[in-house]
Structure 1
């Protein structure tokens, strides 16, 4: 019983031999697979450039560039300022009865902006007009009396020479004539006085009308109907200026230029103005004035730049930046172009290429170039706005080479 059970557990000799012989074959097979995979991995890594050290590069973004950027010799910032601006107030004290304008309204020189209560002044003017009429009537009466007295005096003078009139009658005619002359002269003075009084009344009434001193636009409204206005704010409860206004044709940009850079700025020199409110617009300008005094606290000199052509959307007190140019822009240099630094363009077999960043690799792109401004070249074809191109590299430029962007 025991022998038969042990015989079942015995391994036959031929089976042991076949198992031991299959192990070396499996080892060789796995070794071959490992070698093949290693070769494939090596080839792949070599082809992908992982076995070559990455190049450290400096990049620049392809962007729309204005020609003025390449011609800029100095930049400065400041504000749009109206050179003719007024806080319009009244010369008389009174309560504001009418306000005919609001912010943003355009007015002409002499337009009535506001009216003070003036019923008393109108009454005074009517009284002066009546007094003038009385004086004129008195003058006409005196002139008539003078005419009659003159004729009577002349007749008596002729009769006196012939002895036909008494001395007493002649003396009376002469006295009447002289009195008529004095009365006529007094009447004329009365007319002059009445006209002067009328002029005073007209001036006082005119003071109740607040008029625009020049053509412009209303900027702010400082008083409302019913409030008391006074010249120069004589009362703490009275308003001084009714409105503030500016001549929009006198707008200029005032910027502070550092003393060390002042030699780069010349009166009459070309400039380009950019407003923060309209970042995509460019306004050509000209240096109008270099104010002949310096700010010792900031070591700057104020420079005024005028707009070559004013745009209605330009408003006072807007923040602005001014680029002073080396020369005026030509007609075809006011629109932006796609550009890159000249150092990014390489010559390859009679063609121009740039190396673009594609993920973490170099990629050569043929490009078609146009005009050149200083060190900026116009790209007509091959690149798009926002592309990153390689400006410099510490290793030779090569398609597919791994890169590391320099911080």
Structure 2
């Protein structure tokens, strides 16, 4: 550059000399003048050259951001949607037909196991029981007397057997009536809350017709259908996390209480149940729940952001920042990937701990691109 400017000045000097005076003194004055101009121009050129980089031209560097790869423990989870079910729940139906004479509880009331819920009309049964008791007392008296005579050898065997049979028959009939009477007294089979009463006093209740719905909220079951692909990684006793869309801040950590033994042929799933405590009654049956199950763990894993991994015909790759002769360049690395979770992917091979992977600008670089690392 400097030589070029010098040649230009000399050429200008020759032209000027050819156009100036021809006497030696004039020529000497012109030469002195132009030499001074050359000195001034060379100084200016030197100042400008000092402002340029050593190679004379600044390369346009692509700005990127990087992240150092470090080893850390990695855990992966999968989620499944389920719903709550009451562990103890009962739909009360009478065992015998009869008119409802009383309902002894109200909706929302808490009842204990064995507590009286309702009564059916038992007037006819009670009348029959009283008649049978009278007949049974008489039959028992005859039977006892006949037994005493039979032991003394008095009377025939036939008379003895007839009185005995009559006594046993009446006793069995009374027991049957007593059972029927007990069936007309409806008691709670479980402890819980009276959720709903379907029939009213005076209505006819028949077997199979629902009279009441009782539910116990103290213990609930989370039931979820899970894909058969997860069968090898979930077992009875495994701890899972349970969350509820209705209660975003509530997280329960419970153990799997049951893993189903049959795969559903239609959707290729199996059932998993988790028993949970619900003493405060906040959770309700049929409430939606999400269970999170740990299905993979790796110690000292190399993890990178999942978004920076790209693929071509040769496989998965990413870009690593490398320094060559005081210049940072991007290096394309093909990698073997493992599991991914929460926007992180495990790298099995292709990079090492301490590598600087490009996390911002990775889509703009190619192998060997000159880069500038931004903080």
What TM-score range do you get, normalising by the shorter chain?
A: 0.5 to 0.7
| Secondary structure of the corresponding residue to residue 223 of structure 1 | coil
What residue in structure 2 maps to residue 120 of structure 1? 124
Partner deviation per Cα, 1:232-259 (whole Å, 9 max, x = no partner): 2xxxxxxx01112345465210112123
Distance between the aligned counterparts of 1:93 and 1:375, measured in 2?
A: 61
What residue in structure 2 maps to residue 303 of structure 1? 272
Alignment of 1:2-401 (within 5 A): 73-143=77-147, 150=152, 177-179=154-156, 182-232=158-208, 240-248=209-217, 251-307=220-276, 309-313=277-281, 314-325=283-294, 393-394=360-361
Change in Cα spacing, 1:342 to 1:115, as seen in structure 2 (3 Å) is: farther
Structure 1 stretches of 4+ with a deviation exceeding 6 A read none
Structure 2 unaligned residues grouped into runs of 5+: 1-62, 66-73, 297-302, 306-340, 344-358, 362-371
**By how many angstroms is 1:129 displaced?**
1.5
Partner deviation per Cα, 1:202-255 (whole Å, 9 max, x = no partner): 0111121222233444333222222212112xxxxxxx0111234546521011
| Greater per-residue strand proportion | 2
Scaled by the length of structure 1, the TM-score of the pair is 0.51
What residue in structure 2 maps to residue 38 of structure 1? none
RMSD: 3.6
| Greater per-residue helix proportion | 1
Change in Cα spacing, 1:263 to 1:122, as seen in structure 2 (3 Å) is: same
Does the 8 A contact of 2:219 with 2:278 survive in 1?
no
Change in Cα spacing, 1:72 to 1:275, as seen in structure 2 (3 Å) is: farther
Structure 1 unaligned residues grouped into runs of 5+: 1-54, 58-69, 154-176, 233-239, 328-340, 344-373, 377-391, 399-407
Distance between the aligned counterparts of 2:84 and 2:207, measured in 1?
A: 29
Change in Cα spacing, 1:285 to 1:145, as seen in structure 2 (3 Å) is: same
Does the 8 A contact of 2:91 with 2:212 survive in 1?
yes
**By how many angstroms is 1:263 displaced?**
3.3
